[in-house]
């Protein structure tokens, strides 16, 4: 059983600093019994309106069965506010341990006037209350604040050692109550507000009862966070006496939900807000059962980046609110388990060297997990005409007794598959983002003179080891991604992943150039999410040519993939890391212009053949004039009989087209790169139009 502060959002699963309790009935049967009572109360309480009463009762039954198999020692309890306010229960347990002598609270939100803290002090009889001031700040809370700024009492600000080194914003809730005969540790959903500790919120917290404890939280003196008032677009709205509850889920570009309290069928006005913006969605129809659907755009990506989305419906004086659960976040968690934390960090832009090395190792273990690789059947191929999001149910599967069940399962599987592929598409987009190098850790911070340099040094060393591992794993993964059997389908993602690592780690130029060359050689088409990146990388790579033919090679790359360089534009910013590492002085716009003006050897040979057959002008093949075979080529223009002795092929060949004798290595190379060579066995000139 997991009990904690994290919402079912991207930030809640990995972007924020959360506190999660992991309990098992083998040592915490009491907490499982308490949880069973909590879910029973959810299903039956007159104070709670829910659409999941049946499910709550079933969960309660399972929890009670688990509790009956475990050990009860009274050391772990689950406190919930459906029995009594959380603060009152804390006070009772503190009294049992001789009374509270010190309370330390880590919470992202407080009442502005500190009322919840004042009442907690009175309830427990403890005036020594200290508040953790998180260095990275707290998650934005809208109407709530991260410190009791207007409290008449001055609260002691401290830094809790366990939390101080984390760079994520605080959303976790934890309280240590030091007592005369032990201590209590509380963590879960309740904030240090009057609503969380004494109010009508439904809260759940795990309580650890540690009798005769000798170790306590280590703290250092700190300063309260600076008061930064947030300009809330809804600050001037006068809240109604009561805000109703709604349940809603974001599934792609559709919000599906239902109003749980005081249902009124009709038209409502919908608003959606995140920590960064608030938006009016327009009018929404709510049916007589309280259900509704809303079409939105781009919200899924916002949920990745901020993790906190709140939906509000207004109908005259009536208001309903609720968090959005995000389908792709739930599907990531369901399918990837522990790896979801690293994947969510990548999606949210909070990735660390440890996250990336774990993701690369995960991909390396099974390359079909990569965002663009279809889920294959047992034969290794998709059924003809099928797509990844389709689910097939045959007539033989559907009997009269089970048709509904099969169809329902098929719809559920299709929805989960669709959500999974949307999550992978967002992950693919994350690879293409420019985030800059990870901090090297070399710079010193004058504001942190007392920082533990030993721990800092250890972290820097660990980060460097993870960077080296990432390069190693990517080298192995690249070989699998570029397997000829894949026919180039992995190359675009390989390119964006290579750029991501270049951006974050800045490897040696020779290593990056090797990646780029291997990947570009397998690019089949310049299209999709990575199209701009492919174009820019091709121009950059060929700008590195030590010969004067780089512009010709770039043009050939584009033409071979069906593009006209004269109708293209390039965005250098999409591969800024490649540019910084490989050729900081390059002008990709100028390189595209050169490629537009250049002519490939294939184009020049076509122009030459037209001139030799009197069907075109004697121009457009300047590079051929530098060839050692130019005397022969020039005489063939003047003498049709001489040109008739030439052999024209549509692609490179290793053998003489007439006698089928293997050509020398030099001749084979010339035919591939220059488009012209001489066959020793028959003394004929061979022209390769596809060059």
Q: Which has the minimum average pLDDT: 83-92, 349-358, 421-430? A: 421-430
* pLDDT mean over 674-686: 87
Q: What secondary structure does DSSP assign to 540-598, as a single string? A: HHHHT-SSTTHHHHHHHHHHHTT--GGG----GGGGHHHHHHH-TT--HHHHHHHHHH-
61 or 417: whose pLDDT is higher?
61
pLDDT of 152 strictly over 60: yes
Residue 529 has pLDDT above 60, yes or no: yes
pLDDT over 50 (residue 167):
yes
Structure-model confidence comparison of residues 265 and 193, the more confident one: 193
What pLDDT, on a 0 to 100 scale, did the predictor assign at position 384? Answer: 37
Instruction: Specify which of 410-424, 444-458, 572-586 reaches the highest per-range mean pLDDT.
Output: 572-586
CA distance readout (Å), 504 to 76, 326, 364, 510, 549: 43, 28, 19, 17, 32
The dihedral region occupied by 298, where left means phi > 0, alpha psi between -120 and 50, and beta the remainder, is left
Radius of gyration of the chain (CA): 33
The answer to which of 24-28, 111-115, 267-271, 386-390 has the lowest mean pLDDT is 386-390
Where residue 99 falls (left for φ over 0; alpha for ψ -120 to 50; beta otherwise) is: left
Q: Provide the 10 A C-beta neighbour count for residue 518.
A: 16
Q: What pLDDT shows up at residue 395?
A: 38
Q: What is the pTM assigned to this prediction?
A: 0.63
Contact criterion met (CB below 8 Å) for 329 and 8: yes
Asked if residue 647 has pLDDT above 50, the reply is yes
Please check the confidence at residue 230 and state whether its pLDDT lies above 60.
no
**So what's the pLDDT on residue 411?**
55
Sequence-distant (6+) residues with CB within 8 A of 583 are: 540, 543, 544
CB 227 within 8 A of CB 147: yes
What is the spatial distance between Cα 410 and Cα 212, in angstroms, rounded to a whole number? 56
| pLDDT exceeds 70 at position 387 | no
Residue with more model confidence, 454 or 587: 587
pLDDT score for 10: 67
- Whether the CB-CB separation of 100 and 127 falls below 8 Å is answered with no
Which position has the token pair 């499910």? 55
pLDDT at 74 > cutoff 60: yes
How large is the average pLDDT for residues 166-188? 94
pLDDT beyond 90 at 392: no
The pLDDT of residue 495 is 96
pLDDT digits (tens, 9 = 90+) for 301-319: 777 666 678 899 998 888 9
Mean pLDDT of all residues in 238-245 = 62
Lowest mean pLDDT across 105-109, 534-538, 687-691: 687-691
Percent of the chain at pLDDT > 70 equals 89
Mean pLDDT of the chain: 85
> For 121-125, 380-384, 431-435, 442-446, which range has the lowest pLDDT when averaged over its residues?
380-384
Q: Is the Cβ–Cβ distance between 205 and 188 less than 8 Å? A: yes
User: Alpha-carbon distance 69 to 330, whole Å?
Assistant: 30
- Give me the mean pLDDT over the 107-126 stretch: 95
- The answer to whether 616 and 610 have CB atoms below 8 angstroms apart is yes
Among the ranges 268-282, 378-392, 488-502, which has the highest mean pLDDT value? 488-502
pLDDT at 452: 62
The pLDDT of residue 380: 36
Out of 187-191, 215-219, 259-263, 516-520, least confident range? 259-263
Q: What is the mean pLDDT of residues 18-47?
A: 94
Measured between alpha carbons, how far apart are the two ends of the chain, in Å? 64
| Cα 542 → chain centroid | 32
* pLDDT for residue 396: 40
Residue 353: Cβ-neighbour burial (10 angstroms; 0-12, 13-18, 19+): buried
CA atoms within 13 A on the CB side of 638: 6
Highest-confidence segment of 46-50, 445-449, 520-524: 520-524
pLDDT in tens, 316-329: 888 999 888 888 87
Q: What is the pLDDT of residues 546-575, one digit of tens each?
A: 766 789 889 999 998 999 999 999 999 999
Distance from C-alpha of 132 to C-alpha of 147, rounded to nearest angstrom: 10
Give pLDDT, residue 236. Answer: 35
SS (H, E, C) 138-187: ECCCCCCECCCCCCCCCCEEEEEHHHHCCCCCECCCEEEEEECCEEEEEE
pLDDT at 412: 58
Rounded distance between C-alpha atoms, residue 307 and residue 274, angstroms: 8
SS3 readout for 358-407: HHHHHHHHCHHHCCCCCCCCCCCCCCCCCCCCCCCCCHHHCCCCCHHHHH
Is residue 280 within 8 Å of residue 269, measured between CB atoms?
yes
Q: Which of 49-63, 257-271, 430-444, 575-589 has the highest mean pLDDT?
A: 575-589
pLDDT of residue 528: 86
Domains of the chain, each with CATH number or no CATH: 2-221 (3.30.870), 244-329 (2.60.40.730), 351-373+415-439+459-597 (no CATH), 602-688 (no CATH)
């Amino acid at each position: 059983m997991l009990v904690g502060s994290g919402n079912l959002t991207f930030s809640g699963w990995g972007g924020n600093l959360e506190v999660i309790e992991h309990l098992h009935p083998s040592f915490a049967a009491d907490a499982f019994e308490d949880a069973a009572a909590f879910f029973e109360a959810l299903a039956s309480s007159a104070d709670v309106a829910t659409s999941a009463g049946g499910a709550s009762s079933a969960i309660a039954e399972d929890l009670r069965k688990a509790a009956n198999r475990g050990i009860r020692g009274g050391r772990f309890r689950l406190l919930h506010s459906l029995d009594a306010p959380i603060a009152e229960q804390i006070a009772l347990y503190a009294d049992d341990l001789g009374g509270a002598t010190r309370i330390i609270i880590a919470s992202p939100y407080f009442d502005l006037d500190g009322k919840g803290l004042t009442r907690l002090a009175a309830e427990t009889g403890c005036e020594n209350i200290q508040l953790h001031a998180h260095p990275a700040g707290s998650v934005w809370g809208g109407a709530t604040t991260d410190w009791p700024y207007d409290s008449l009492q001055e609260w002691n600000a401290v830094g809790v050692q366990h939390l101080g080194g984390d760079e994520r914003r605080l959303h976790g809730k934890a309280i240590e109550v030091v007592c005369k005969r032990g201590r209590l540790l509380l963590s879960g959903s309740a904030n240090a507000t009057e609503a969380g500790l004494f109010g009508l919120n439904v809260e759940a917290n795990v309580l650890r009862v540690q009798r005769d404890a000798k170790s306590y939280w280590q703290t250092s003196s700190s300063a309260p966070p600076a008061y930064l008032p947030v300009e809330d677009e809804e600050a001037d709205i006068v809240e109604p006496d009561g805000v109703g509850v709604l349940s809603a889920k974001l599934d792609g570009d559709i919000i599906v939900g239902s109003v749980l309290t005081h249902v009124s069928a009709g038209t409502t006005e919908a608003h959606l807000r995140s920590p960064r913006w608030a938006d009016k969605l327009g009018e929404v129809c709510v049916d007589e059962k309280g259900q509704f659907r809303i079409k939105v755009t781009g919200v899924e990506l916002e949920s990745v980046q901020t993790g906190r989305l709140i939906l509000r419906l207004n109908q005259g004086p009536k208001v309903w609110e609720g968090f959005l659960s995000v389908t792709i976040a739930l599907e990531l968690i369901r399918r990837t388990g522990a790896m979801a934390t690293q994947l969510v960090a990548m999606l949210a832009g909070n990735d660390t060297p440890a996250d990336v090395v774990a993701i690369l190792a995960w991909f390396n273990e099974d390359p079909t997990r990569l965002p663009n690789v279809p889920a294959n059947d047992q034969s290794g191929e998709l059924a003809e005409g099928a797509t990844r999001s389709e689910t097939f149910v045959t007539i033989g599967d559907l009997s009269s007794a089970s048709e509904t069940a099969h169809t329902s399962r098929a719809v559920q599987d299709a929805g989960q598959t669709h959500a999974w592929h949307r999550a992978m598409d967002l992950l693919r987009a994350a690879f293409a983002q420019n985030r800059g190098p990870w901090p090297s850790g070399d710079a010193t911070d004058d504001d942190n003179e007392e920082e533990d340099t030993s721990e800092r040094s250890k972290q820097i060393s660990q980060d460097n080891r993870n960077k080296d591992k990432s390069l190693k794993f990517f080298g192995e993964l690249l070989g699998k991604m570029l397997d000829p059997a894949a026919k180039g389908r992995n190359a675009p993602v390989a390119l964006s992943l290579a750029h991501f690592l270049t951006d974050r780690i800045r490897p040696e130029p020779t290593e990056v150039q090797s990646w780029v060359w291997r990947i570009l050689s397998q690019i089949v088409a310049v299209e999709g999410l990575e199209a701009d990146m492919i174009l820019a990388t091709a121009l950059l790579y060929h700008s590195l040519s030590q010969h004067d033919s780089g512009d010709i090679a770039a043009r050939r790359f584009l033409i071979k993939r069906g593009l006209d360089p004269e109708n293209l534009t390039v965005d250098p910013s999409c591969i800024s890391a490649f540019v910084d590492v490989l050729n900081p002085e390059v002008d990709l716009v100028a390189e595209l212009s050169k490629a537009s003006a250049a002519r490939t050897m294939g184009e020049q040979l076509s122009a030459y053949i037209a001139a030799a057959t009197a069907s075109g002008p004697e121009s457009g093949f300047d590079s051929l004039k530098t060839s050692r075979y130019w005397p022969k080529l020039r005489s063939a223009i003047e003498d049709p009989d001489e040109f008739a002795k030439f052999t024209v092929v549509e692609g490179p060949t290793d053998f003489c087209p007439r006698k089928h004798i293997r050509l020398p290595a030099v001749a084979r190379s010339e035919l591939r790169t220059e488009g012209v060579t001489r066959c020793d066995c028959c003394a004929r000139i061979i022209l390769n139009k596809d060059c």
